Chains A and B, each alone.
Chain A
Amino acid sequence: KNQVEQSPQSLIILEGKNCTLQCNYTVSPFSNLRWYKQDTGRGPVSLTIMTFSENTKSNGRYTATLDADTKQSSLHITASQLSDSASYICVVTPWSGGYNKLIFGAGTRLAVHP
């Protein structure tokens, strides 16, 4: 079973609308949780990073929340733009003394239509 589950798998919204993407994880303990945006055929770009003690982090129109008790995170996109069309990946880093192995969710594919 994947330790990081994302929902929905895909989402279509109209330009200007808001949306919320979900991430549930079982990784414990963990060092941090990140949201990445990945355009098709490109490398992931970091949007937010939160440690286990943080509840929310914003980056422009992107706001991530984290509930470490329920092991849930969400990414809220406000006033969507056509350029927001991409895959959004939730990534959890387990707490370890070793190397920085990221555990990736399968991603949510977002399509913003005019």
Chain B
Amino acid sequence: DTEVTQTPKHLVMGMTNKKSLKCEQHMGHRAMYWYKQKAKKPPELMFVYSYEKLSINESVPSRFSPECPNSSLLNLHLHALQPEDSALYLCASSQESGASYEQYFGPGTRLTVT
């Protein structure tokens, strides 16, 4: 199983809503990542978890709150988002967080903030 799954596929939320994105992998990977991708742009790294601990936060606003409840799951909690936060949110995982390990991407969640 080399699949990273993400739910939901699409999400529309208002600026006052609270929602969560979910990511799951069963490859035994110990590093998991959140990326944000705007249209026609490359993905931008948001967070890195290694062994269920947050190791990197790329200066992401606090309205995005990541959580890693166990080694297979990664959540991204959303609160008080802005319309400019509308994007494709990608989750990825790798065996470890070192440079030589390949990252496997999920299909993404298309988020629209109204």
By CB atoms of chain B within 10 A, which of A49, A104, A106 has the most? A104
In the complex, are the beta carbons of A99 and B50 less than 8 A apart? Answer: yes
The stretch among B14-22, B60-68, B71-79, B104-112 that forms the contact with chain A is B104-112
In the complex, are the beta carbons of A46 and B31 less than 8 A apart? Answer: no
- Chain B residues with Cβ under 8 A from A96's Cβ? 99
On whether A106 and B42 interact (CB within 8 A), knowing A43-B4, A45-B105, the answer reads: yes
> In the bound complex, how far is the Cα of B101 from the Cα of A99, in angstroms?
10
By CB atoms of chain B within 10 A, which of A41, A44, A45, A100 has the most? A100
Indicate if B55 sits at the interface (CB-CB under 8 A).
yes
Closest 6 CB pairs of A and B: A104-B42, A43-B105, A31-B99, A99-B97, A93-B99, A44-B105
Sample (7) of A-B pairs whose CB atoms are under 8 Å apart: A43-B92, A43-B106, A89-B42, A95-B99, A99-B98, A100-B97, A109-B40
Q: Which A residues have a C-beta under 8 Å from some C-beta of B?
A: 31-32, 34, 36, 41-46, 49, 51, 89, 93-102, 104-107, 109
